[in-house]
Every structure is written in structure tokens, then in C-alpha cells.
Amino acid sequence: MRRRSSWFRTPNILNDGRRGRCGAKNWVLKVPYSHMTIPDHGMVDAARSKQDHASNSIHMEHFVRSLVRGFNPRTIGRLALNGTSTFCACALIWEHLITIQLSEGPSMYPTFDVRGDWLLISRVHRNGKGIEVGDVVRYGHPNFQGVHVAKRVVGMPGDFVCQDKPLSTDIGKEGNMIQIPEGHVFLAGDNLPWSRDSRNYGPVPMGLINGKIIARVWPLSKIGWVTNPLQPAQLEAQNI
């Protein structure tokens, strides 16, 4: 059987790489179809994809096996012990050293915003330990269980304070002079017209104090320590 042949005209390129003509004729190459091989690029790409997938599967299998071999009972026990220790340390710090709370309500404005200030609270000052006049404390509301509020200390045990009328801004003009009993403090909000405090429910037991607000940690533009603006009054002795 006679094989079919095809004629392909080659570019006019000489052996030295220069394009040109040889006389008046072009170079012509006669190649039989049976000697031609045309690669199928789609099949090549599919074969490469399968090979890469198989290689990735082998690597993943080796990784999983090595990971499983590493999780022996001793390693699992060590991880469990480390996790438990970390949890206990965080709980200890959160319960006995510091905690964070979001400010809510207008009673301490402008010291704290109505909402949006995150406050750092020292738990070391629980039960009124180390508290002074002018400090801002967090305490459990004496009339509503589970409610925590923040107010400023304006009187310590044994101090005499004027218990003004609730929501009044006339300090010392209307009210009764009282002496704070032992184990109690007199608390008031910085925004007196919008604060319900010891003017409403009297001196607060120090046992209800669960922390002292020492800093504002958010927003970053107002981050800083909470200062004590109150100074003891200097009274001159008068001879009667």
C-alpha cells in the first residue's frame, strides 16, 4: 500500500539561521504522514495534573501519619496539663487581680462616657481594701442583686457628710448631716442630677465593693489612668 505524503513549505531560513532564498526556489520538505507526531497538549496537561494530585496526596498522607505518631498519650497529657494551667491562671487573674467592664449610664459623665468606655478594674481593692476618698469603685447595687455600678467615694467610715436630696445639684444646702458608720462608705456619681447613689439608699457596706477603677483602656484616644480629683479641705481653727 502506498503511503500518503504531504508537502510542507519550510520557512526561508538557511542553516546558519539567516532568512533568504536559494536561487529562485524555496526549500521544500516532503514528510510522510506516518512519520509525523502531533502532541495532544490537553492530554499532557491532564496527565501532569493527575501526577501532581497523586504527589500531593502522598505528601499529605505522610504528614498525617507523622502527626498521629506524635500524639502519643504522653503528649496528649502534656497538652491537657498546659491547657488546664493556662485556664486556671487566667481565671485567677480575672477573679483576684484585674478585670474589664464596659461603662454604661450617665451617672459618671463626663469622667466616663455614657457607653463605649472600657474600664480596667483592680480586684485587689475588694471589700474596700486600700480605698480612699475620691477613688472610683465598682460595687454591687444594694437594692438590685446582680447589678454592678460605679461611683466615686466621697466619705469614709467615721466621716461626716451632708446627705443631700436625691438628684439635687445644691450640694450642702438641703439635706441632713450624717456620720458614716463603720464598714460603710458614702458614694456619689460625678453627674449628680443623673445619679442614684448614697443620697438615695444611704451609706454602702464596704463588703459590696468588688473593685477599684484604675484606668480606661478603650478607646485608644482616651486611654489613661483614672485620677483622684478630690483634695482634703484645709480648715483653719477658729477661737470661739
- Considering the domain architecture, whether residues 47 and 31 belong to the same structural domain is answered as no
Contact indicator for 149, 138 with CB cutoff of 8 Å: yes
As a whole number of angstroms, the distance between CA 97 and CA 118 comes to 17
Residues 6+ apart with CB under 8 A from 65: none
- Considering the domain architecture, whether residues 78 and 29 belong to the same structural domain is answered as no
- Considering the domain architecture, whether residues 104 and 221 belong to the same structural domain is answered as yes
- Considering the domain architecture, whether residues 84 and 183 belong to the same structural domain is answered as no
Average pLDDT taken over every residue of the chain: 75
- Considering the domain architecture, whether residues 106 and 209 belong to the same structural domain is answered as yes
0.95 exceeded by pTM: no
- Considering the domain architecture, whether residues 155 and 123 belong to the same structural domain is answered as yes
Total domains in the fold of the chain = 3
C-alpha cell belonging to residue 41:
497538549
As a whole number of angstroms, the distance between CA 223 and CA 239 comes to 48
- Considering the domain architecture, whether residues 90 and 143 belong to the same structural domain is answered as no
User: Quick check: is 236 in a domain?
Assistant: no
Catalogue the active-site residues.
107, 151
C-alpha cell belonging to residue 235:
480648715
Average pLDDT of the residues in 25-46: 50
User: Quick check: is 65 in a domain?
Assistant: yes
User: Quick check: is 141 in a domain?
Assistant: yes
- Considering the domain architecture, whether residues 164 and 191 belong to the same structural domain is answered as yes
**pLDDT band per the 50, 70, 90 thresholds, residue 158:** very high
- Considering the domain architecture, whether residues 83 and 156 belong to the same structural domain is answered as no
Contact indicator for 151, 141 with CB cutoff of 8 Å: no
- Considering the domain architecture, whether residues 147 and 73 belong to the same structural domain is answered as no
As a whole number of angstroms, the distance between CA 185 and CA 153 comes to 7
Position 166 scores a pLDDT of 74
Tell me which residue range forms the domain holding 61.
43-94
Contact indicator for 49, 41 with CB cutoff of 8 Å: no
